[in-house]
Amino acid sequence: MSSVVRTRYAPSPTGYIHIGNLRSALYEYLIARVNGGKFILRIEDTDQERYIEGAVDVIYRTLKICGMKHDEGPDIGGPYGPYVQSERKNLYLPYAEELVRNGHAYYCFCSKERLESLQNEYKERGEVFRYDRHCLGLSEEEVKRKLEAGEPYVIRQKMPTEGTTTFHDVVYGEITVDNSELEDQILIKSDGYPTYNFANVIDDHLMHITHVVRGCEYLSSTPKYNLLYQAFGWEIPTYVHLPLIVKPDGSKISKRKGDATFEDLLAEGYLVEAIINYLALLGWSPDSNQEIFSLAELEKIFSIERISKSPSVFDMAKLRWFNGEYIRAMSLEDFHKIALPWIKKGLEKDLPTLQIAKMIQPRTEVLSEIPEKLGFFNHLCEYDLELYTHKKMKTNLEISLNSLKAALPVLENLPDWNEKSIYDALTALTEQLQLKSGQMFWPIRIAVSGQLVTPGGAVEIAEVLGKEETIRRINIGIERLSAAV
């Protein structure tokens, strides 16, 4: 086997990348990079019924935007191509035939009807289906006659029925399985395509893959892989099985159950960097309390030894936290750029988006929530006058009315309309009237927004609204309060 670490990401083009699949890709990428090795992309499309047009492009796009650059693959080539299994179709049968000659596999001509009948028998008895080796006893002459007659067939792996098979996994340690539990799995299907399990072994060997990284649900299949490696006399790779990713209630994440895929998360306004950072920590822990890691940092410190065998809980609240941390760490210009489509979606009029971005950046965790926060910029909705009463700000309806009346002429006569000039003028007025700052700024905030919670304070909102609209809204506040006091 190659002395250079070689890992592979081998997704099936089924339309989307789910979270567990992306984490596998990330760990495979990091294991290669931290060891100065190679990260290979291979497309496993042997299951033609599940193939979805355009899905390969989704795979390319996902790796690209995540920054996981592969060293070999269908789009860039490499010394062990082709890197699409359907394009390698003709090389698998000879290997299966070699196993038949060596007594490790056999032809099976059982019809679909016979197998269904057999499955029903097992089901009625409440047992797990196992192929009954009906075709194992066929003589060479019978096999030859059936092949020459063009009868449909599959090739099955002949499993040992006694003893045990033991393998080592870096995460889970030594695992031993009774050979009596292993079914004679199909290697070559009736359509001539190899099964996922068989193609994996052949391709991993031919591409000199040193580390096979996959979900722990494949632990039970690993003895079958090892028996194939041993039958061919090939060196067995290092196995790295990853813990399950589960929801807080312990159930598995599933697209069918409405759980988000990678593209769903992007569409909701989660940042790629935050998703990758969070996924890295779903099953792996650093040797420090640090939580925020760039991909470049992970490439230097990731270690197989610190992968956990315990299931990892995918917590949307934690992902939100990561996303918020990344958003707050961005420059205003960068945040404005990514937030702009969401800001425009929330506005019905032309307002200064850079000022809005500055206002909402410290208070944003997920980009898709921006539009709903901006509705008050479009219209001043009816609001409860009790909002003017705030215990902490020491305001009530009367104090609020007096503050708005005092602020109105000051703002009307302000020559420059910007955050600093508005703040300075209102602060000077507050000191002149010997008020607490909240007694001035809280009533203005309610008057200009009509909301208890806003993405910015009174001054920031006034700057964005502009002088004319701010004064119009303060006048509305004065009218309503005057009628109530």
Residue 237 contacts by C-beta under 8 Å, 6 or more apart in sequence? 1, 204, 209, 210, 211, 212
The letter for the amino acid at 412 is E
User: Sheet harboring 105-108: ordered strands across?
Assistant: 105-108, 154-157, 186-188
Q: Which of 247, 252, 255, 467 is catalytic?
A: 255
Q: Determine how β-strand 173-178 pairs with β-strand 164-169.
A: antiparallel
Nearest to 480, CA basis, from 442, 450, 435, 441: 450
| The dihedral sign for the CA sequence 287, 290, 294, 296 | negative
The letter for the amino acid at 440 is M
CB 232 within 8 A of CB 224: no
Degrees to nearest 5, angle at CA 436 with 434 and 441: 115
CA atoms within 13 A on the CB side of 340: 10
CA distance between the termini of the chain = 86
Dihedral, CA of residue 155, residue 161, residue 164 and residue 165, to nearest 10: -10
**Secondary structure of residue 363 in the 3-state scheme:** helix
225-242 burial, b if ≥16 CB within 10 A, otherwise e?
bbbbbebbeeebbbbbbb
d(Cα 4, Cα 71) in Å, to the nearest integer? 13
- Asked if the peptide bond before residue 13 counts as cis, ω within 30 degrees of 0, the response is no
What are residue 313's DSSP bridge partners? 246
Nearest to 154, CA basis, from 205, 92, 200, 201: 92
Which alpha helices (H) appear in 272-331, and where do they start and end?
A: 272-280, 295-301, 316-328
Check if 89 is active-site: no
Q: What is the largest CA-CA distance in the chain?
A: 109
Give catalytic residues, as residue numbers. Answer: 255
